[in-house]
Amino acid sequence: MAVELAEFLRKKFSNLVKEAEENDPSGLLLNSRFQSIIKDCTTKMTISSSTASVNREFLYDLIDALSECRVFAYQHKAALNKRLLLFNLFAEWRFTRKMKTRLSGIQDKFTSLDVGIDSNPPRFFPLERQTYRPHNASEIKGLDEQANTIEQLLLRRTEFTAIGIVGMGGAGKTALAQKVFTSPVVRGSFEPMIWVCLSETLINKQEDLRVNVVKYILEALEDDVDELTSDLGIVELLGRLNSKLLDKRYLIVLDDVWHINEWYADLGFRLPEGGRIGDQFSHGLPKKSGGVVIVTSRLEQVARKMVGGKYLVRLKSPLSNDICWDVFTDSVKEDRIVNDGHHILEKMREEIIRKCGGLPLAAKTLAKIIPLQIPDLESNRFLREFCIPDHILVPDKNVETNLHMPKCPVLVFIGGSPEEKLLDTFRSLLNKNQVFNFNLSEDNEVLPKIYENLKKLKLDGDGFASEIQKRLRIIIVGGDVNAKYLLGTICDLRLPESPSIVTTCLGSENHIPISFGWEKHYLNADSQSVTSFLDEVMKAKKIKTDSWHIIGRMQVNRPIASPVPQTDLQNKESGSGFHQRFWNYFSMGTEAQRWRAAAFSSSWTIGKIANVRIMKWDQDLEDLTIRQSIRSIVCCNLPGSPAALNPRGVPNVKKKQDRDLTPSYIDDGLLEVIGFEDGTLKGHGIRLAQVRRIIFKFEKGSVEHVKMKIDGEELKQSLPKDGVFQIEISRSNQVNMLATSDCQAKSIRDYNTYGDDGTEEDTE
């Protein structure tokens, strides 16, 4: 279908240029430029399955430009009649200059297209002007006054009458003839009624035009032309036509006459009494019974030669805006490509009316083109709701005029593999300056710089920047390690309100997206996948989640219940310890790479090598009793786990009371502590406690090193031979995450939504 549509548009453009020349050879602005483009379309453009879409867009632009030229020429000519010569010459110069620039751009675009030859070119269908006869006159909008004048003339006269309807292409000549032809009053007064389209594209060029036309009329009169007239010449055919129409009040419409032809000149000519029928078309039309012929033509000299100057109807005044819109919507409804009340069409109403220029054919042409563009128009309008202007992203950039406030402005950070194609797709759909490569060091500091620029703009009174910050959403495409890094950067900014964040799957460790329902939204590098994902981002709901500090260091002498000092938090990495944040989980005692072999000797368990102390709620620290069989521990904040299972379990009522456990939420300030008896993390494990704070203390010489994983990042911490090393976890703050309808995580704010059935799922 794409190939046929592109070929249709190519032929449509060529015929529209020809039509404009026929109407007024000197009136088409930039005619030579259009002829040059037609030559390129004919000799250089190869429409194939691989080039159809780009050629289609090129031809859309051409037809639109040509329509503008024709409408301007029509309006300009009318204005010249008012003798505003100097002003209108300036208007023509300005329009021509603007259109030359536009056509140059279109030609440059065509030159850059890949127009390679297809080894299997498709069969093209011809572009034909098809005369549509509506079932009733009410379907034709406007032209009521002209139609009524013609009807009264037809009904009043009892002699043969020839009427001409003339006007520029698209002015409504055929529509006016149809309105008269289908009028109930006219149909009740004339019989037979015959419609003949004389458009050049419908004429069989291998057969005599005269024979073709007369045969067509005889066929309409139910004469077996092939059998009875196969050997008859034009004189015999006209004689047969005359006898068929004799004593009948007939109505014949000759629609879209292009050329001056002596054969059908002077249709009102009367044969003298006893005169012999010759080879002129008028000889086949009896004149005594009140027959009527209506001729439509773009060229007044053609119509005048056929019908004379007495009954010549000139269509000059453009249709009103309302009628033009009705013609457009009726044509849209007829084609059934989109609903005539489509919201995109309604938003484009003023633009469509302006492009119609009061011409019915322009309205019908736009009705065939614009609905086909709606998917692209919808996509562009949709993507505008995510785009951030450059002055927000680039310091000291000039503010654009007519800024559009996006509903869902986003910053996109992409890491992992394969990221290049995905980067290109996001950058092609959005502002390239709002999409960043996580793997480039210069992009790692971009977020603080953007927020610094937002702060500066807000201080300067930029309300647009303030609203962008309120609506901002951050997309993190990559593994949990990428997400952990960027979430940490956001927390370090110490914003009054965190932006809404979505993390999505790309890479091997993707447990954070699973918790918020994004595992079903895996991103491919194609535009459709990215657009669909952005739609989900816009619809996603905001949900708060806790973040947690984890710090490993040699034990220091300070009150054990006091919070972690800021100086320690700022010292994120050192040879003797570490400090990080996590949002999903911290695990210890399991091989970080394969999650199978234990980090300790097979005889060592967590209870043997570490003393574990916890703080429940806001109480004092207390020892956590750990069964000797527990060899791995996971401190979990989100429903996802390293094994991509929910490890928490739901203890029965008795165990829940004994352990002082509550339902699991991601924003209640409590961390789930789960124990596993082996290194595979299979099953649900044993739900040991819910804590606000937990400390693992390793006595000297208990083990050489401990292996850990923090939101997908592997750590191997050597333990000192002398002294005590401790790992301490405490609550940091909260960030806003975005969740889909498949979100597994539960918020304490939705407490009534989530119940606890009290069933036993604990492996203990």
Whole-number pLDDT of residue 591 = 42
C-alpha triplet 417, 421, 425: angle, nearest 5°: 130
Q: What is the mean pLDDT of residues 152-172?
A: 85
CB 573 within 8 A of CB 579: yes
Whole-number pLDDT of residue 164 = 93
Tell me what the pLDDT averaged over the chain comes to.
76
E strands present in 264-360: 292-297, 312-314
pLDDT surpassing 50 at residue 121: no
Whole-number pLDDT of residue 645 = 41
What's the pLDDT band for 232 if we cut at 50, 70, 90? confident
The residue written with tokens 């220029």 in the block is 357
pLDDT surpassing 90 at residue 600: no
C-alpha triplet 744, 746, 752: angle, nearest 5°: 125
Among the residue ranges 347-361, 610-624, 664-678, the one predicted with the least confidence is: 347-361
Structure-model confidence comparison of residues 643 and 32, the more confident one: 32
Structure-model confidence comparison of residues 113 and 179, the more confident one: 179
Highest mean pLDDT among 116-120, 222-226, 407-411, 423-427: 407-411
Q: What is the mean pLDDT of residues 499-516?
A: 80
The residue written with tokens 């000059």 in the block is 316
Q: What is the mean pLDDT of residues 426-452?
A: 83
Whole-number pLDDT of residue 251 = 93
Strand order across the beta sheet in which 161-166 lies: 193-197, 251-257, 292-297, 161-166, 312-314
pLDDT surpassing 50 at residue 36: yes
Structure-model confidence comparison of residues 408 and 27, the more confident one: 408
pLDDT tens digits along 535-557? 999 999 999 999 999 999 876 54
Backbone φ and ψ of 216, nearest 5°? -60, -45
Report the distance separating Cα 69 and Cα 328, nearest Å. 20
Give me the helix-helix angle, 527-539 and 360-384, nearest 10°: 70
The residue written with tokens 């128009």 in the block is 377
Percent of the chain scoring above 90 in pLDDT: 17
What's the pLDDT band for 226 if we cut at 50, 70, 90? low
Which of 684, 493, 492, 703 lies closest to 588 in space, CA to CA? 703
User: Which DSSP state fits 124?
Assistant: P
pLDDT tens digits along 656-671? 555 567 888 999 999 9
Structure-model confidence comparison of residues 227 and 715, the more confident one: 715
Q: What is the mean pLDDT of residues 636-644?
A: 67
Tokens of 148: 């009524």
Structure-model confidence comparison of residues 602 and 72, the more confident one: 72
What's the pLDDT band for 342 if we cut at 50, 70, 90? confident
pLDDT surpassing 80 at residue 194: yes
Whole-number pLDDT of residue 118 = 37
pLDDT tens digits along 448-496? 999 999 999 999 999 999 999 999 999 998 877 888 888 888 888 888 8
pLDDT tens digits along 750-764? 754 333 433 334 444
Residues in the chain: 764
Report the distance separating Cα 441 and Cα 439, nearest Å. 6
Whole-number pLDDT of residue 42 = 59
Whole-number pLDDT of residue 659 = 56
Structure-model confidence comparison of residues 508 and 266, the more confident one: 266
pLDDT surpassing 80 at residue 569: no
Whole-number pLDDT of residue 724 = 84
Q: What is the mean pLDDT of residues 296-321?
A: 84
Which of 36, 92, 99 lies closest to 66 in space, CA to CA? 99
| Torsion angle defined by CA atoms of residues 90, 93, 98 and 102, in that order, rounded to the nearest 10 degrees | 160
CB 429 within 8 A of CB 414: no
Tokens of 45: 């453009």
What's the pLDDT band for 21 if we cut at 50, 70, 90? low
Q: What is the mean pLDDT of residues 301-327?
A: 84
Whole-number pLDDT of residue 615 = 92
Report the distance separating Cα 548 and Cα 730, nearest Å. 6
Whole-number pLDDT of residue 443 = 58
pLDDT tens digits along 685-696? 788 889 999 999
Whole-number pLDDT of residue 571 = 40
User: Which DSSP state fits 339?
Assistant: -
**Rg (the chain; Cα; Å):** 40
Q: What is the mean pLDDT of residues 404-410?
A: 94
DSSP assignment of 739-755: E-TT-----GGGGGG--
DSSP assignment of 461-523: T-HHHHHHHHH-EEEEES-HHHHHHHHHHHHHTT-SSPPEEEEE--SS--HHHHHTT-TT-PP
